[in-house]
Amino acid sequence: MAFEDKVLVCRDCGNEFIFSIGEQEFFAEKGFENEPTRCPACRASRRQRVAGAERPRREMFPAICSDCGAETQVPFRPSGDKAVYCRDCYQRLRGF
């Protein structure tokens, strides 16, 4: 299939942008059936907004490290029946 550069209009900002031969080949290789509807700048801006909104902050809970006794914070509510480690002890015990 022969590709040619295409001029498209961004649905967000209304500016024209080039859908290049290389981009078209990439889209075809990945199996994307639709052309992009946003210019590269608007796509990047949208990715940043979406990436920041997807991951809510985890609630952290106070705990005492079972190895060194230091006060720490963990992303789960300790039940008391299993050992809980601070970051340093956890990494040391896991061999990181």
pLDDT computed for residue 19 by the predictor = 96
pLDDT, residue 14, reads 96
Binned average pLDDT, 10 residues per bin, the chain of 96 residues: 92 96 93 94 89 74 95 92 93 85
CA 95 to chain centroid: 26
Instruction: Give dist(CA 83, CA 80) in Å, integer.
Output: 7
Model pLDDT, residue 44? 92
> CA–CA separation, 93 vs 87, rounded Å?
10
How far apart, in whole angstroms, are the C-alpha atoms of residue 74 and residue 85? 8
| CA 18 – CA 53 distance, rounded (Å) | 29
